[in-house]
Amino acid sequence: MKQMKIVVLDSYVLNPGDLSWSGIEKLGNCTIYDRTPPKFFIERAKNANAIFTNKVIINEEIISKLPDLKFIGVLATGYNVVDTVAARNAGITVTNIPSYSTASVAQMVFSHILNFAQNVSIHANSVSAGDWSKSVDFAYWKTPQIELVGKTLGIIGFGQIGQAVAKVGLAFGMNVIFNNRSKKSADIKANQVDLETLLSESDFISINCPLTTENTGFINKATISKMKPSAFLINTGRGLLINEQDLADALNSEKIAGAGLDVLSVEPADKNNPLTIAKNCFITPHIAWATLEARTRLMNIATENIKAFIEDNPQNVVN
């Protein structure tokens, strides 16, 4: 095969400057763009043999205008940004990046859980503001302090990330239950239950399932009503798993105690999203995957994916 023309359409979020594209650059004539607005898609990708995309949508219309394209590398695990059927019909291989961020996402789940348990930043800011210096007591707390030992952690979706979350929960002494769309045997002390049981018994609920047409908006007024008023909801999966207005209403009326979210239905966040101003709702900007270590693994797998394709032995193919 002649030297490939490789185009990276939206590189910045993966690599804002602390990683190197050299591995991919060695494999062909490589052009890298920080971001690609829709009006430049075709212009930048024309004549490319391989493109990498993170959030740039590659639909059937775009594919039809790129006759030289043979490889699409998705720089993420989810590959819904690519019309995989149209790509297959056009003879284009599509790959993704599996299992690169499992440990980092599990860590973010517990960052949110621990935030609710002890509110370190609230108390640290209080000390910085001089409140402790003015206190007549040696200790004070501005929010209830929660011990995780003995609390029930309910995990929705028991794939690799869900199981990693379970292991951390067990290390904290939590009782772990999980719900999964298929029967799952666990080699750790975690019990599979139906969704209603999980919702009603859990003190903390972690959503770690993929988004499907069947579960879109499954966290809604009806399912939230089954949760404890003291329960906390954590979502590091996909924003569309939650009916956001229903969750905001539940938080503002104290139907549940709090929510920690790393994902929203529209990203970047819509300024009118009701969750951005909801009571006891903490939102992080989709960064569970973004540790340096996880992004380094992502870059390495992306490089191996295109290298394997060039060598006619493709890996991590999703179409």
Residue of 238, 244, 295, 297 marked active site: 238
Residue 6, token pair as written in the block: 């490789």
Strand spans (E) along the chain: 4-8, 28-32, 50-53, 71-74, 93-95, 152-156, 175-179, 190-192, 204-207, 232-235, 258-261, 281-283
Q: Do the strands 281-283 and 258-261 form a parallel or antiparallel pair, or are they unpaired?
A: parallel
Q: Which residue has tokens 């972690």?
A: 206
**Angle, CA of 161, 237 and 156, to the nearest 5°:** 65
Q: What is d(CA 188, CA 110) in angstroms, rounded to the nearest whole number? A: 18
Residue 175, strand partner residues? 152
Taking each helix axis as running N to C, give the angle between helix 102-118 and helix 120-128, from 0 to 180 degrees, rounded to the nearest 10. 60
Active site residue 238: yes
Residue of 61, 254, 267, 293 marked active site: 267
Residue of 44, 201, 286, 304 marked active site: 286
Q: What is d(CA 41, CA 213) in angstroms, rounded to the nearest whole number? A: 28
Q: Which residue has tokens 């900007």?
A: 285
Q: What is d(CA 209, CA 157) in angstroms, rounded to the nearest whole number? A: 4
Cα dihedral sign for 112, 114, 117, 119? negative
* Eight-class DSSP state of 269: P
Alpha carbon 122 to its chain's center: 25
Quickly count: other Cβ atoms within 10 Å of residue 214's Cβ: 7
Active site residue 123: no
Residue 8, token pair as written in the block: 């990276």
Task: Encode burial over 10-45: b for 16+ CB neighbours within 10 A, e otherwise.
Answer: bbebbbeeebebeebeebbebebbeebeeeebeebb
| Residue numbers annotated as active site | 238, 267, 286
